[in-house]
Every structure is written in structure tokens, then in C-alpha cells.
Amino acid sequence: MDLVNHLSDRLLFAVPKKGRLQQSCLDLLKGSDIQFHRHSRLDIALCINFPIALIFLPAADIPVFVGEGRVDLGITGHDQVRESRTTEVEQILDLGFGKCKLQVQVPEKGDIQDPKDLVGRNIVTSFVSLTREYFEKLEVEAGGEERRGATKIKYVGGSVEAACALGVADGIVDLVESGETMKAAGLKPIATLIETSAVLIKSKHPSHPELIDRICSRIRGVITAQKYVLCTYNIPRSMLTYVVQITPGKRAPTVTQLMDQGAEDWAAVSVMVEKSKIAMVMDQLEEVGATDILVMNLSNSRSS
């Protein structure tokens, strides 16, 4: 009863209790200064500095609890949102981690080369709704409406990649990150249903809209800081138009006048650059005459 009372006036925030997204979610909460202590074997943690209760749930269940229950916010995979078929959640932000593909995989040494070859055969998956939707289209293409439902789709909660080798399936549909697990199981991809990553979702009927806006702003700031670095450099003013094309920034670069005597024809530029592109950008800046090129990591950010 005490726990129910504790939760009644708090924003409920669902995060994965295990799996590929969990550690990145915990790092994101830490970066957003959402402070909590989770007792071992408990799936509810009360935040210290916000009226928030973190609910640790299987990623597949989170869209349902957010869309149909009292949970206000959640982090799960875009694939799980699509699979749930719920219409009562809103995807606020692609968090950029947990990227993978939902693929059709078949035995590498078998005779199946095209997804159409699996029509009417056995498919094993944890994503029954998405798989059924995909194969219904192939069934209609292959033989009209009378073939709809001909493919046998079976649900397995784990070890989907073993289904072909163990004689349960002719093909599988499963999430693939690097593909190493599938290769080890003797499988190869023949089609991709969707590409997915972790997303922040909210209920379409939230109970704490102002607090949701604050938390979303913090999370967005952490994601931005992880994606960008701050680059500063000096450049002759005659080259400004050109270097702005090299470093357009997240919105626009900041250009200021150098105050050193004799440097009237020079400007200082501060700009945000994607981490993945910074080495190439520095090379290009150096080639066109930029000097004092400095790069600084960001720990957090805010943008309106």
C-alpha cells in the first residue's frame, strides 16, 4: 500500500530491465541527472531529485504500459513500438543507440534465396505482428487473397537463431546487430523489414506534462552532447564564406572578431561538428588556411 501511495503522485518512467538497451539507458539517465537507487531484485526505483518512479520492464512490454497504462514516459526499441501496434504513444526522440535491423534470415547452405521462397513455409520469430504483416504482402503477390495466411509463423521468445538448425523453421525473422551470431548459426540475411534503434516515447495522455518537457529537454541535451564536439579555429575573413560550408554547425557557426593588433582581417569561429566527421573536417580546415584548430568534448547541452 505504501508503494502505491509513493507512485500515485509521481511521473512513471519505464526503462528496459535487461537486454541490449539497458546499460545505455542507465548511462542516459545518469547524464540527465536523474538520480535513483535500485535495490537488488526490485523493478521499481524512486528518484531522489525528481518526483519520478523508474519502472524496469521488458522492452517489449513498455509500449503497452505507456500507451494503455499509467506510465508517462518510456525507452524502448522502435521495433517494439511497431510490434505492439499501439496508437496511444508518441515517439519523441530517436536516442541513437541500440541500432540494428529486423531481418529475414535463412540457412546459408539452403536453396532459399528470396523471401518469396518462404511463402507457405515455417517462420519463427519474436515479432509475430511485423512478420505477419510482411509475409501477408508476399502471399498476396504470390497467389492473391486466397494465399493470405498460408505462411506458418510461430512465436519463440529467445534463441530464435537456433530454430532452423533444430528443425523448427525454414527461416526466421529476428533483430541483427553485427550479424556474427547469425553467421555462427549458419544463417544469412535475405531481406530487411525495418531498421531500428532506441526511442523515447510518451503517453498521448500524460499526467505530468511539464515534468515530461523538462526530462525530455535534459535527455535531448545529453544525446546532442554525445553526437557533437565543439570546434574552434581562426580563419582569414576572406575565407569565411568557404569555411562555413565545411563547418555549417548544428544551426550556424559563431563568428567573432580577433582583438589582437594586426589581426583585423581574421575571425574566430566556434561551431558544433558531428564527432564522426571531425577528423575530416579538421583536415579540410587546415588545407584552406585555418589555424589554432581546437576540439572540445561536450558533457551536456541545451537547445530550444
On whether the CB atoms of residues 203 and 89 are closer than 8 A, the answer is yes
**What's the pTM value of the predicted model, to 2 decimals?**
0.84
Check residue 200 and give its pLDDT. 97
Check residue 179 and give its pLDDT. 86
Q: Taking the CA of residue 180 as centre, how many other CA atoms within 13 Å lie in the half-sphere pointing to its CB?
A: 1
C-alpha pair distances (Å), 77 with each of 12, 65, 175, 178, 201:
18, 14, 11, 17, 10
CA distance 50 to 57: 20
Eight-state DSSP code of residue 264: T
Check residue 18 and give its pLDDT. 87
Q: Which stretches of the chain are assigned E, i.e. beta strand?
A: 11-16, 44-46, 52-57, 73-77, 89-94, 100-107, 122-125, 152-155, 171-176, 187-196, 198-203, 228-236, 254-257, 266-274, 291-297
Check residue 9 and give its pLDDT. 84
Check residue 143 and give its pLDDT. 73
Q: Which domains occur in the chain, in start order? A: 2-97+197-207 (3.40.190.10), 100-196 (3.40.190.10), 228-297 (3.30.70.120)
On whether the CB atoms of residues 238 and 246 are closer than 8 A, the answer is no
169-199 pLDDT, tens per residue? 999 999 999 889 899 999 999 999 999 999 9
Check residue 261 and give its pLDDT. 61
CA distance 271 to 250: 8
- Give me the residues of the chain with pLDDT under 50, please: 1
Check residue 80 and give its pLDDT. 96
